[in-house]
């Protein structure tokens, strides 16, 4: 209830600063990077392709203040569930680790919006399941807060760590999702983070070993670690822990998550 109230309150603030976003967008109309971002917002596969062909930076993120940005084209497409565009951008090498100004990675936003198919695609391309945002939230926490039960199940199946105590946000999670997570936690069973494997195992008995560098992914074997490294962990490893500033208000947390939805939708 409190969350819904805060969301409503937030929506009006988002509307207020949309004018300045639209202004900046309009001013940069000729810029090929901005065209890429706009095409992702509109969900136009053709225009995304055209912008890339014209030389747009695939990981461009339009910042409109210190603490807010549209996110990259991939972030936007994940947020809105534009599966074709997500596929194209991943094929073309878009970063699954680059965060919006407020520390959310594409996997956070896909989980937040319950875009289950997108979650799967990101993980197949090496996105780290337990990537942290500035509140130490993993994508699983975001799926639980908004009770996207299918996404919660998929994240666990793919190997997300069900132990959410470190994020300290169990009380924000919806009951139904929390139940699923608690069940998974009871078994103490984790999974190999190589999406091609997913073999269950236990950390305690050493059947799964942590990536020595990031300590956020687990593998059943050296081969699985190597395979995951080559599908994309190479680019993510070392970027998935959040070490920057903590957010200073609820509005700031929500700004990166909600603002692009309102931009130039036509
Ligand atoms: Zn494995
Ligand atoms: Zn790693």
pLDDT for 230-248, tens place per residue?
A: 998 998 898 877 777 665 5
* Triad 17, 20, 21: Cα angle to 5°: 90
Counting other chains too, the contacts that 204-208 makes at CB distance below 8 Å and 24 or more residues apart are none
Tell me the ligand closest to 208's alpha carbon. 1
State the distance from the centre of ligand 1 to the C-alpha of 203, rounded, in angstroms.
Answer: 13
pLDDT in tens, 153-194: 999 999 898 888 876 677 788 999 999 999 988 887 788 999
State the distance from the centre of ligand 1 to the C-alpha of 225, rounded, in angstroms.
Answer: 7
**Residues pairing with 218 in the sheet:** 210
Q: Model-level pTM?
A: 0.81
Please, which pLDDT band fits residue 2 given cuts at 50, 70 and 90?
low
State the distance from the centre of ligand 2 to the C-alpha of 228, rounded, in angstroms.
Answer: 9
H runs (alpha helix) in 146-221: 149-158, 175-187
- Rounded Cα distance between 131 and 109, Å, is 12
State the distance from the centre of ligand 1 to the C-alpha of 192, rounded, in angstroms.
Answer: 5
Between 77 and 250, where is the model more confident?
77
State the distance from the centre of ligand 2 to the C-alpha of 119, rounded, in angstroms.
Answer: 19
Contacts of 183 (CB under 8 A, 6+ apart): none
- Rounded Cα distance between 53 and 238, Å, is 30
SS3 210: strand
Say which range, 27-31, 48-52, 117-121, has the weakest mean pLDDT.
27-31
Question: Three-class SS string for 2-26?
Answer: HHHHHHHHHHHHHHHHHHHHHHHHH
User: In what helix (H) or strand (E) does residue 218 lie, and over which residues does it extend?
Assistant: strand 218-219
State the distance from the centre of ligand 1 to the C-alpha of 124, rounded, in angstroms.
Answer: 14
What does pLDDT average to over the chain?
83
Please, which pLDDT band fits residue 18 given cuts at 50, 70 and 90?
very low
Between 73 and 199, where is the model more confident?
73
State the distance from the centre of ligand 2 to the C-alpha of 214, rounded, in angstroms.
Answer: 4
Tell me the ligand closest to 193's alpha carbon. 1
Tell me the ligand closest to 190's alpha carbon. 1
Question: Three-class SS string for 29-87?
Answer: CCCHHHHHHHHHHHCCHHHHHHHHHCCCCCCCCCEEECCEECCCHHHHHHHHCCHHHHH
Domains of the chain, each with CATH number or no CATH: 2-189+250-261 (1.25.40.20)
Gyration radius (Cα) of the chain, Å:
18
Tell me the ligand closest to 97's alpha carbon. 2
* Cα–chain center distance at 92: 18
Tell me the ligand closest to 212's alpha carbon. 2
**Residues having C-beta closer than 5 Å to ion ligand 2:** 211, 213-214, 237
The mean pLDDT of 89-114, rounded to a whole number, is 95
Residue 135 confidence (pLDDT) above 90 = no
Count of other CB atoms within 10 angstroms of residue 247: 18
State the distance from the centre of ligand 2 to the C-alpha of 182, rounded, in angstroms.
Answer: 26
| pLDDT at residue number 186 | 86
Please, which pLDDT band fits residue 28 given cuts at 50, 70 and 90?
low
Residue 260 confidence (pLDDT) above 70 = no
Instruction: Judge contact between 210 and 222, C-beta under 8 A.
Output: no
Question: What DSSP character marks residue 100?
Answer: P
State the distance from the centre of ligand 1 to the C-alpha of 214, rounded, in angstroms.
Answer: 17
Exposure b/e, 150-186, CB count within 10 A at least 16 = b: ebbbbbbebbbbbebeebebeebbbeebbebbeebbe
List phi, psi (to 5°) of 210: -75, 150
State the distance from the centre of ligand 1 to the C-alpha of 226, rounded, in angstroms.
Answer: 10
């Amino acid at each position: 209830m409190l969350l819904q109230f805060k969301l409503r309150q937030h929506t009006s603030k988002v509307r207020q600063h949309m004018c300045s976003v639209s202004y900046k967008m309009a001013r940069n109309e000729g810029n090929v990077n901005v065209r890429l971002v706009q095409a992702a917002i509109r969900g136009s596969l053709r225009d995304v392709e055209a912008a890339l062909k014209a030389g747009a930076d695939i990981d461009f993120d339009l910042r409109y203040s210190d603490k807010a940005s549209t996110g990259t084209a991939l972030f936007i497409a994940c947020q809105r569930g534009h599966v074709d565009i997500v596929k194209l951008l991943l094929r073309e090498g878009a970063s699954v680790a680059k965060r919006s100004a407020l520390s959310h990675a594409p996997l956070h936003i896909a989980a937040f919006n319950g875009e289950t198919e997108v979650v799967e695609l990101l993980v197949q391309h090496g996105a780290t399941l337990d990537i942290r945002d500035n509140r130490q939230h993993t994508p699983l926490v975001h799926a639980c807060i908004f009770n996207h039960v299918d996404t919660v199940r998929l994240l666990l199946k793919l190997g997300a760590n069900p132990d959410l105590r470190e994020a300290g946000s169990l009380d924000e999670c919806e009951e139904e999702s929390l139940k699923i997570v608690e069940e998974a936690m009871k078994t103490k069973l984790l999974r190999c983070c190589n999406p091609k494997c997913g073999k269950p195992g236990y950390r305690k008995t050493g059947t799964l070993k942590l990536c020595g560098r990031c300590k956020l992914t687990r593998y059943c074997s050296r081969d699985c670690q190597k395979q995951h490294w080559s599908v994309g962990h190479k680019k993510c490893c070392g970027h998935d822990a959040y070490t920057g500033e903590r957010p200073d208000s609820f509005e700031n947390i929500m700004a990166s998550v909600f603002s692009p939805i309102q931009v130039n939708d036509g």
